[in-house]
Amino acid sequence: QMCFWVGSATQILILLTWHELQHLLGCKRPAVFLDKACVHQTDTELKKKGIKSLAAFLDNSRSLVIVYSDVYLARLWTVYELASFLLLCPKSHMEFMPVTLPALMLTIIAAFHVYAGPVQYIGNDDMLETIATTYPVMTMTLLAVPWISFMACFSRLWTTALAGISSDLKKFDIRTAACTCESDRSIVQGHVETYMKLLGEVPQDSSQ
Q: What is the pLDDT of residues 105-160, one digit of tens each?
A: 787 777 777 777 666 665 555 555 565 566 566 666 776 777 788 778 878 877 88
CA angle 13, 18, 20 (to 5 degrees): 110
Shared-domain flag, residues 51 and 151: no
Euclidean distance between CA atoms 171 and 150, whole angstroms: 32
For residue 94, is it within any domain? yes
Residues 96-101: what's their mean pLDDT? 80
Shared-domain flag, residues 80 and 36: yes
| Span 173-195, pLDDT tens digits | 888 888 887 877 888 888 777 77
Residues 82-102: what's their mean pLDDT? 82
Check if the beta carbon of residue 141 is closer than 8 Å to that of residue 42: no
Mean pLDDT, the chain, rounded, equals 77
In this structure, which amino acid lies at residue 70? D
If one counts the domains in the chain, the total is 3
pTM > 0.85: yes or no: no
Residue-range definition of the domain harbouring residue 93: 32-99+187-208
